[in-house]
Amino acid sequence: MEKSFKITTAEGLHARPATILVSSVSPFTASVELLYNNKSVNLKSIMGVMAQAVPAGAVVTISANGTDAEELISKVTEVIISQGLGEEC
């Protein structure tokens, strides 16, 4: 399952937003990827997320596979919106 988001924070996905996202998905067993600019990284890796250098206004896709993938995508959606990191596309 996957979902796309437009990043709306002025700084893009720098250290603080990346930490928030990685922390929110770490408790889940499902594998999760962040896709941006035709490159995919493990969303459970803060270095991987930061290496993407996702700027403000970019559209990213989060995909998850596993037994708790649906709950994981729901949590990511909640965190991105409630923390003001982005909006659903």
Exactly one of 14, 48, 55, 66 is catalytic; which is it?
14
Mark whether 62 is an active-site residue: no
Write out the chain's pLDDT in tens, 89 residues.
999 999 999 999 999 999 999 999 999 999 999 999 999 999 999 999 999 999 999 999 999 999 999 999 999 999 999 999 999 99
- Give the bridge partners for 49, in sequence order: none
Q: Which domains does the chain have, with CATH numbers?
A: 2-88 (3.30.1340.10)
Per-residue buried b or exposed e for 18-44, using 16+ beta carbons within 10 Å of the residue's own CB: beebbebbeebebebbbbbeeeebebb
**pTM score over 0.85:** yes
pLDDT for the residue numbered 73: 98
